[in-house]
Structure formats: structure tokens, C-alpha cells
Amino acid sequence: MNKQRSLEPHMYSAELALLLELLQSESAASSSIEMTSRTASSLDWKEFVALAHHHRVYPTIQAQCAEHPLLPEQVKQWLTQKYNRNAFTMLQLSGQMQRLSALLGERGIRALQLKGPVLAQLLYGDLSRRTSKDLDVLVPMEQAQQAEELLLELGYVKTQSVPRTTHNWRWRYNHESYTDERTGVEIELHWRLNGDAGKEQGFEELWSRRQTLAFGGTDVHMLGMEDLLIYLAVHGARHAWFRLRWLVDIDRLTRSNLDWSLLRQLTRQYRCEHIVGQALLLSASWLHTPIHAEMEHWTAHARSHELAVRVLPFITNRVNLCPEPETEALAKPYRAYQYALKTSGQKALFWVRKLAPDDWDMQTLPLPRGLYFLYYPLHPFLLLYRRMQRRTALQREVEQ
């Protein structure tokens, strides 16, 4: 319990405090009355709106508290507008998801939806209660090429590809992105759950534990509950939980019917106990998620607590870490945190890859295949050159 108290966000603003009050699942209405009565006159409502948008939690707030009498009318109008716009986006994504799921099934390509509309429906019971900017679809690695061909046939254009110059590119990376330029819908086609993350559940294992939701007469498959918790925890951890929306997902999921014995087995097998522990501690401290005896297996670990403390500045300072940190000053602690997340085996692999030539070397200085051996002595210099370029680019953004 003392560890949880040390994670309490005691240095946050009144606006963030109110946001947290409104997001709590069980007693949002009553707690918000007390908070708003005490601080409504001194709140910076522009900052509150900015936080709700940054953390992508405005649909939840609108659904639970939009008619609260102490919320200013302008805030209510903003929440309603954003909620309606998000509802349209989610319906559009849902339609594309149904269409793609049906066509993949017709071609014998098994697919698991990772987030998007299925996650909104599962955790919130309503598509419009959660935001999503794209669809994340996981297919077996051997069927990724077939799935890509289908997307191209449907009019999608590849907008983010991974370097394919090395033989192990499918293991170093986990997805590529495609966009329908007519609708603006983006799809991330995954062949692994996580990129460069070491050991993880294979597709066959995930498929055997899948759950199925019906959308407009179309069966859509998604991760089983325990695999979903692990995936969401790893995803949030890799992004330092800089959006509260991800913690709200964890809160909702842990309040559902989970097989805690299976989860314990999976987290031990795939070396992610510290990551699930971090997620549970943050959710408990920030959203009052109940921690019962079965969860203490993860929350009692000192490493889980250390990792939870490390991300607090990224949550409270309203920063954006995706796809890159906004400044070099932010990038340095973020890289240190990313390294701390790794298991000992992942750290060893990290250094092996750091010392070996990679795709970025080949992009920075293209050489004929017969001279590839030169990448080994040149690698440290090319790595330094890319880092200097990144720092210069970030500095220019700050100056602008």
C-alpha cells in the first residue's frame, strides 16, 4: 500500500486532478461534484480542455459528466462536438473493419483486431466511448504478403514501410501502415505484436485463445482477455503511458472477468511481469483501480514500482512521445526508460544490434553489395552522424 501511495500524483495541476476524478470508473459523478465545487472558480478551463484532448479521454468524460451543472457551457459544447466527431470516425473505422475482416476471411487469411472499434465495444460497450485513429490488424507472418496484396487491391496505399535490406527485418519490425486516400482510414498491418521486443506469444497461440465479436453480421476476431491485457500493458509501457486513455483501458479490463492464473503463467513465460505490474500500479494510483490479492503477484515487485515512478513526468507534463520525443531533453530520459523496460536478454540483444550494421546505415550511406563489409568499421560513425542529425532537427522544431 505504501508503494501505491508513493505513486499518487501529488504534484499535478488542479485541471489534471479534475480530469482524474472524472475518469474514475465507479463514482465519477459524486467525486466530480466535490472537486468542481471546490475548485471551479479557479480552474483554467482551457488547460482542462487541452488535457482532455491530449489524453484522448473526452469521449469518456462526455458520456459520464457532460451534463454536470458545474461544467462551463463552453466546455460542454466542446465535449459534445468532439464526442460527435469521434462517433463518426469510429463508425467509419468499424465499417472498414467489417469489410476487411470479411474479405480476409474469404481468402483464408486469419486476422485478429488488436484495438480500434473492437476494443471500444468490448471495454466500453459503445464505439463512441473511445478514440482510435486507425485499425491494427494482426495476421500470421506467412500470410502478411497476401494481406498486403488485398489492401492494395482495395485502394490502400503504403504510407509507412520498414527497411527490408537485412534478412531478419520481419523479426526486428512488427508492422507497416496503409492509408485509403479517399476516406483517410489508416490500417497498420502487423505480423508480430511488438517490434524488436524479444519473445512474445505466437499467432497460433493467440488464435487459440481469441474471442469473437459480431459487428453488423460480420464476425470479428480479437485477442483473448489475458493476451489483451498483456498487449495493452506492453503498448502503454513502450509509450511511457503519456496518454491516460491507455490507463483507462487497463482499469476497465482489470474490472472484467480475467483468468488470473493464466495471466500469471503467460507473464512469467514471456518475461513481462514487471510491465503488467507497472500498468496495475499506475491504474490503481491514478484511477483507483481495485488491487486484490491475485494482482499482488505483479504489483509487489520493486521493479514494477520503479518503472511506474519513471513515467510520471511523461504523464503530468503533457508531452508527445510518438513517433519521436518532442525535444532532445525529453528524448534522453525516454531512451533511458526504454532501456530500463528491457529484460536482461533484450538488453544483451540491444547491444549486439547496436554494434552491428543495420538498415539505417545502408540508408545513410548506400554502398554496393560488394562493399557491405565496410559497414562494420563505419557503423559507429554513421550512428553518431544520425544522432547529430536528429538533435539538429529537434532543435529547429523548438526554434520554430
User: pLDDT: is 212 or 381 the higher one?
Assistant: 212
Distance CA 342, CA 338 (A): 7
Per-residue pLDDT at 387: 75
Averaged confidence pLDDT in the chain: 87
Place of cell 559497414: 375
Q: What pLDDT digit, counting tens, does each position of 117-156 carry?
A: 999 999 999 999 999 999 999 999 999 999 999 999 999 9
Q: Largest Cα–Cα distance in the chain?
A: 73
- CA-nearest of 104, 88, 160 to 137 is 104
Q: Is the pLDDT of residue 356 over 80?
A: no
Q: What pLDDT digit, counting tens, does each position of 289-319 carry?
A: 999 999 999 999 899 999 999 999 999 989 9
Would you say 277 and 283 are in contact if contact means Cβ atoms under 8 Å apart? no
- CA-nearest of 274, 276, 271 to 349 is 271
Length of the chain: 400
Q: What's the pTM?
A: 0.87
**What value does the mean pLDDT take over residues 21-49?**
68
Would you say 218 and 98 are in contact if contact means Cβ atoms under 8 Å apart? yes
What is the residue extent of each domain of the chain?
330-399
**What value does the mean pLDDT take over residues 173-194?**
93
Per-residue pLDDT at 5: 45
**What value does the mean pLDDT take over residues 217-223?**
95
Residues 23/29/33/34 CA torsion (nearest 10 deg): -70
Q: What pLDDT digit, counting tens, does each position of 240-283 carry?
A: 999 999 999 999 999 999 999 999 999 999 999 999 999 999 99
In which band, very low, low, confident or very high, does the pLDDT at 199 lie, cut at 50, 70 and 90? confident
CA-to-CA separations, 115 to 10, 112, 136, 220, 267, in angstroms, rounded = 31, 9, 6, 12, 20
Q: Is the pLDDT of residue 53 over 80?
A: yes
Q: Is the pLDDT of residue 6 over 80?
A: no
Q: Is the pLDDT of residue 30 over 60?
A: no
Burial 386-399 (b: 16+ CB within 10 A, else e): eeeeeeeebeeeee
Per-residue pLDDT at 3: 46
User: pLDDT: is 188 or 331 the higher one?
Assistant: 188
In which band, very low, low, confident or very high, does the pLDDT at 88 lie, cut at 50, 70 and 90? very high
Residue 3 three-state SS:
helix
**What value does the mean pLDDT take over residues 345-369?**
77
